[in-house]
Structure 1
């Protein structure tokens, strides 16, 4: 045993010496190439003296990077991850300048901007050399993963022998998109798990090449609100009640709720805990990484619902990325990749514009930086945090990787840009699988998505006006001149005049006399839109809307870009409205689906459930949908959208280990995020994990 220990120590010393030698050589090469980086005095020195100076400088920089850098990052935990990533270059360059100053040879100098370059190159080379030397040593590799990704537990109880579960959410990746990516060879890790060389006759992956499947792929169906806020709240907290869309207006509070706004996310989580008395999927030894909601986890990083609260010892939302940035080489790689992604996005958007690609949306302004953060920084930090959770032996981990969703919104769900992101996400899954082999307990990886995305051009691009313009025109309110000149705008004005019995020349005066108190609030959530009248304290009925704005519902229902409307009814409780005067009570939708027939199975149930929510809007508007090509019309500036009914957006996937029970059981399919929540609970129990309590256990949840 003692001999093994000494061999391990000798091996570590040998690797350290090798890294030092390579770093010294790198410093010598950089000194020869960069005029503002000197390793000799002004009068010149011998080659030996220069080599000694480089060796001392490389050694000092290595020691400072190992000792001082982690302390600097820990002091900067109050700084958001994005800002800390930008500080990486400055901090690393400062350490190099300090290393040159304390160099015992008395030689060595660099301009500040040159020091940044030298430090970045040396950190990357040292990291690559260390990794190459350690690749055959499992124990060393495991220790390196700990340094890179793990912030260890404050206390270290014995790790359970039962398997833990890691849930990785690939945000926005639909079931059909995943199947197609496997067929094209874009996701070899997923293909290995499925034991497939391509899809079978039913479109699902089939066994091939003698591989034994380790996972099964299953679709599931979202609620009407097919977006992360509703789906993830249901998955983590067991309730999607009263989340009618991504954004909506609440009359009783006079506020607009937006799922990705920290205050709104915190309120939604509070309501879900009160409704279910549920501590959350992750409330027992869990970690939440990169999510909108905490799931009751004790360990949280980049979780939106806690971002609005003051930080405390129990609420360290940024502590999860400490371990990642504590490795300067990893931080430098992320920063360089961030810059490269910004340049890549600018190039791709310019190429799409020059080719006059259709459909297309604006990708300028801050979007290149938003995309780079989602596809590089968020991915690297979240994956590193999950690696740390696995190496710390946590029981349940839920992480959201948002890269695909962000790119697909602007480039399209099946675009080359989106396919490149799928390749990178597959590599992240492969890394997590490899880390699981070094974890102190077995792990099972479950990969799932919260919704898909449906392609199609925007409502504005096709018809020349926004839905808000159309609603205002239908209400007889002023609209912008560009909207007045469109065919849709002219039809809306004609409908208003006909409904009011006014001649053409009186239209302008009628619009001037419209009461400003009746101006509607129109909020878009992908291809779902919500129209609310804030001056009416209750949810208006069809009869009330017709009395106030006789042409509005007819104008909307007959527009070719709109699939159907949902409104409350005094006579039938609720009705679905379609073109040509179609009006179907909710109770009759199963027998006579009418305009919902194009939206597939489950549409009627989803609409009825949303109708029961307290904060459902006065008018719920779903865009048109073409079943032949799966396209919808987004009311936002997105060519890949989700949020309503229609196409792939309503069909995410579950990729689960075959040793766990089948997702649907006796049902045809898993329907709704709440069922997914109960399914994940069941899987935790099947692996022998602790029973997740169904009551609020934390002090914060009891106070709520």
Structure 2
């Protein structure tokens, strides 16, 4: 028995919408016939029937073809979906009299032309891209679900904007880059406050603590475990899974009927999509389709995302060339970054929004989603650059779409926005001093010891891995073959890879020194001992290293543990004893925030913290600090906006006056969940 779909507006409007799209695409086809020599239409009737045939074939064949090819569709980031449209246009030309296409190249141009004209005209007619998204995506998801009259269940949506500092958020709101948030704040329905994310100021440490309420051993983005000579990197899928195993038995924000979308950690959620720690245990994914099937099934999603990705790619090319000629801090932005930006700022963003809205209609109690685009772009373009602010404008639209979808869901979702950390900006250490930290230490030791750099950050790689391996999961043989093939390619190029191969083995000689950099924070490991060394043990072998480091103009302070006095922070003109808070000379932590001492004491107690902790020098007058990696915007240590995260929440909730680390924020969010549960019981 068939059930007719109930829409939240009268059926004649739905019919009118179909007719309008039909007319637009018919006109588009007639226009293309004038411009494309390989396209022939003998009459207007042929154009009308041609568009009708394309629509019918799309409705009938697309779900079947996509079901059979979803893995390759995801691996090609939707390109195969585009080629399916080309095949359908060719089939329509074979069926409809008076409609012919000379070759495959013409068919590709027809699909591109119809899509472009349709997208432009429908957006112009709706005057609002969000309204077009509402009609074309959200109402499709609501298909068969009656609009709720009274909502008796509550839910929480947590949207994390990776790397966005409170100060940059304020600027974006004031400058009209985020009109949705500005409207909410102006109406006094929402409050925005800053919070101190602490150390290390990076996603794996911050998000795991927000979700689980504790960070027992994530001292940086990457670190070295001396006892087994293993490098741990936060965005390597095997390492991310290993990290979550340390917490997974603990209660989290996502323990009860929850969903994780686009995160590093799942929190034990019953559904995890594009979540790095859970890629190898996605048992709930349907065998041949996966969570991404519905996204690519909707033609609007595909066409819109395709053109936005093309636009974003060329926007990056233009903006990078423009920045190259400007007299301001910059780093090289090549073709690989243009691809990274396109994936993170458009594809991952749009897929994440689709999955969040889908999960809302499924009624998950808590949904936690991360948008990574701003962080990726700010690393290369700058924290307040037009490129980065443009990404925030796009994220603001996603927030509005989720808000609109909330009107149609059975749960009353309360939307909370937060960031896991901020970013600080400045010319890199290499740009300023024409050398790396690894080379600096090597020179200080008169080239007598081998100093090994553990590599730099490629945060977006982990999320791309998540999409690729999630698509390949049902096909173990293909997965193995793809890895083997790509390994062969990698051996020739020795550059970028998007599968999770084992890290190159680190040196195992006792005289080796390992340098792990994370933004402007560096952990130094002396390999002559398997335990964490005290200052006394370090100076016995390297008597001048600490003094040499703090005299360098790019080093702000150096921290080491002592046998009897606890952790000590050394600056160029002073020393601070963290246990007693005694200061000799000028306080080396003066420019690094009022909670710097508290955060450093917590950091050095972590089991795999470095023997030495180095933080680059922050200049409060310019608000800049150099990263030890080749990044313009960076985070990981102390100084500037990188620890200045934000929290935006409905005014019905309350918070303490000060939130000093992610553990405090976890308890705040947990209290809100408890309050919503109580509201449900009262109803």
TM range (shorter): 0.7 to 0.9
1:529 corresponds to which residue? 522
Partner of residue 677 from structure 2, selected from 670, 685, 688: 688
Structure 1 residues 550-629: aligned runs within 5 Å: 550-579=543-572, 582-589=574-581, 594-629=587-622
Partner Cα separation in structure 2 for residue 530 and residue 567 of structure 1: 10
Partner of residue 232 from structure 1, selected from 207, 210, 216: 207
Partner Cα separation in structure 2 for residue 8 and residue 180 of structure 1: 42
TM-score, length basis structure 2: 0.83
Partner Cα separation in structure 1 for residue 599 and residue 203 of structure 2: 16
2:276 corresponds to which residue? 304
**Does structure 1 retain, via aligned residues, the 8 Å contact 2:248–2:267?**
no
Partner Cα separation in structure 2 for residue 295 and residue 159 of structure 1: 31
**Does structure 2 retain, via aligned residues, the 8 Å contact 1:134–1:141?**
no
Q: Say if 2:660 is the partner of 1:658.
A: no
State the Cα distance separating 1:135 from its structure 2 match: 10
Partner Cα separation in structure 2 for residue 626 and residue 243 of structure 1: 27
2:106 corresponds to which residue? 114
**Does structure 1 retain, via aligned residues, the 8 Å contact 2:29–2:110?**
yes
RMSD of aligned alpha carbons: 3.3
**Does structure 1 retain, via aligned residues, the 8 Å contact 2:449–2:513?**
no
**Does structure 2 retain, via aligned residues, the 8 Å contact 1:387–1:432?**
yes
Give CA deviations for 1:261-281 in whole Å, capped at 9, x if unaligned: 11111111111225xx22x31
**Does structure 2 retain, via aligned residues, the 8 Å contact 1:123–1:328?**
no
Give CA deviations for 1:28-48 in whole Å, capped at 9, x if unaligned: 2212221112234xxxxxxxx
2:263 corresponds to which residue? 291
Give CA deviations for 1:532-567 in whole Å, capped at 9, x if unaligned: 123421112222221222222221122121111121
Partner of residue 406 from structure 1, selected from 369, 372, 376: 376
1:36 corresponds to which residue? 38
Partner Cα separation in structure 2 for residue 400 and residue 459 of structure 1: 29
**Does structure 1 retain, via aligned residues, the 8 Å contact 2:199–2:603?**
yes
TM-score, length basis structure 1: 0.81
2:320 corresponds to which residue? 349
**Does structure 2 retain, via aligned residues, the 8 Å contact 1:165–1:684?**
yes
Structure 1 residues 271-286: aligned runs within 5 Å: 271-274=246-249, 277-278=250-251, 280-286=252-258
What SS is found at the alignment partner of 1:596? coil
2:483 corresponds to which residue? none
TM superposition outliers: structure 1 runs of 4+ over 6 Å: 4-7, 127-136, 138-143, 150-153, 157-160, 315-318, 590-593
Give CA deviations for 1:268-317 in whole Å, capped at 9, x if unaligned: 1111225xx22x3122221111111112222222111123x165335889
When residues 144 and 253 of structure 1 are mapped into structure 2, their CA distance, relative to the original with a 3 A threshold, is same
Q: Judge which range, 114-123 or 183-192, deviates more.
A: 114-123
State the Cα distance separating 1:110 from its structure 2 match: 4.0
Q: 5+ unaligned residues in a row in structure 2: which ranges?
A: 451-507
Give CA deviations for 1:7-59 in whole Å, capped at 9, x if unaligned: 9455544443443333223222212221112234xxxxxxxxx3332222211
**Does structure 1 retain, via aligned residues, the 8 Å contact 2:7–2:143?**
no
Partner Cα separation in structure 2 for residue 7 and residue 616 of structure 1: 59
Give CA deviations for 1:167-198 in whole Å, capped at 9, x if unaligned: 11111111111112222222221111111xxx
Q: Say if 2:191 is the partner of 1:221.
A: no
Q: Judge which range, 421-430 or 223-232, deviates more.
A: 421-430
Partner Cα separation in structure 2 for residue 230 and residue 603 of structure 1: 17
When residues 359 and 479 of structure 1 are mapped into structure 2, their CA distance, relative to the original with a 3 A threshold, is farther
When residues 230 and 115 of structure 1 are mapped into structure 2, their CA distance, relative to the original with a 3 A threshold, is same
Partner Cα separation in structure 2 for residue 463 and residue 6 of structure 1: 62
Partner of residue 51 from structure 2, selected from 58, 79, 84: 58
When residues 72 and 281 of structure 1 are mapped into structure 2, their CA distance, relative to the original with a 3 A threshold, is farther
Q: 5+ unaligned residues in a row in structure 1: which ranges?
A: 41-49, 196-211, 481-514, 692-704
Partner of residue 396 from structure 2, selected from 400, 406, 426: 426
State the Cα distance separating 1:467 from its structure 2 match: 0.5
State the Cα distance separating 1:428 from its structure 2 match: 2.0
Partner Cα separation in structure 1 for residue 261 and residue 196 of structure 2: 24
What SS is found at the alignment partner of 2:387? helix
Q: Say if 2:337 is the partner of 1:367.
A: yes
